[in-house]
Amino acid sequence: LAEEKIVTAALLVIGDEILSGRTADRNIHYVAEHMTRVGIRLKEVRVVPDEEDAIVSAVNELRARYTYLFTTGGIGPTHDDITADAVAKALGVGIGHDERALALLHAFFAKRKLEPTPARLRMARIPHGASLIRNAISVAPGFRFGNVIVLAGVPEVMQVMLDDITPQLDTGAVMQTTTIKLNRAEGEVADIFAAHQKTFPDVTMGSYPSFSDGRISTQLVLRSIDSKRLSAATSALELMLRANKLL
């Protein structure tokens, strides 16, 4: 088996509204699924408030630790949108009204007969040296500087920006998954499952209980980038569960 390439990422969600409970985040799960699908391993998520110090230190810790850092939130026109400036500060580069972003916004405003107010033009503030990420919905762009990728917080806009940037990303081996569903409590299969993990140390195994309608069930999830090993581990586990009348 050749050494497989591993590409990692972190997601930084920026916004008081998530931490106060006013808004339920819809980006974490979407980004997690997207990363798994394209072959990037999401290794950490953080949620921080709209505060410069918190953003700057999270950006610097996470961009150093992972292949990519994605951020969501805080790039709109209002005074609480401080992500672009905070990211520029973290990167140690200047920031100003970007000519390319201004052209996009002016064209959009002209078509919609909107006034190019100073607040609206704040959305053209882009760190010097960054490339733009296309926003097919509301034009105001995201941006990428090195391994830092800055996306909108509104889920629909975040999603089109993610589609725009994904073809430019380095990706690694795609994690394959199998799931075995049991109408059993975790405790009934835990010893067999732990022994099975030792037999297949290269296949990551997790157990997820759930309750619904007063009934307990468990999903055993096996994950590997090697589909043959995954298939072998899954079949062997199913056989063992059947032999013990657990499946």
- Residues in contact with its own copies by CB under 8 A are 13, 15-25, 28-29, 32-37, 41-50, 54, 76-81, 114, 117-120, 122-123, 137, 154, 156, 175, 177, 185-187, 189-191, 193-194, 197, 204-211, 221, 223
Cβ closest to its own copies, residue 132 vs residue 137: 137
DSSP 26-60: -HHHHHHHHHHHHT-EEEEEEEE-S-HHHHHHHHH
- Shortest distance (Å) from residue 116 CB to its own copies: 9
Cβ closest to its own copies, residue 7 vs residue 154: 154
Q: State phi, psi for 80 to the nearest 5 degrees.
A: -85, 0
State both tokens at 29. 């799960």
Cβ closest to its own copies, residue 23 vs residue 183: 23
Cβ closest to its own copies, residue 3 vs residue 115: 115
C-alpha–C-alpha distance, residues 108 and 243, integer Å: 65
Cβ closest to its own copies, residue 93 vs residue 154: 154
C-alpha–C-alpha distance, residues 126 and 124, integer Å: 6
Asked if 119 and 78 touch (Cβ cutoff 8 Å), the reply is yes
State both tokens at 52. 């410069």
- Shortest distance (Å) from residue 127 CB to its own copies: 21
- Shortest distance (Å) from residue 167 CB to its own copies: 20
State both tokens at 177. 């998954």
Cβ closest to its own copies, residue 107 vs residue 119: 119
- Shortest distance (Å) from residue 37 CB to its own copies: 8
Can you list the pairs that 194-201 forms with residues at least 24 positions away whose Cβ atoms lie under 8 Å?
196/233, 196/236, 196/237, 196/240, 199/233, 199/236, 200/229, 200/232, 200/233, 200/236
Instruction: Name the burial class of residue 224, with classes exposed (0-12), middle (13-18) and buried (19+) by CB atoms within 10 angstroms of its CB.
Output: buried
- Shortest distance (Å) from residue 66 CB to its own copies: 12
- Shortest distance (Å) from residue 170 CB to its own copies: 19
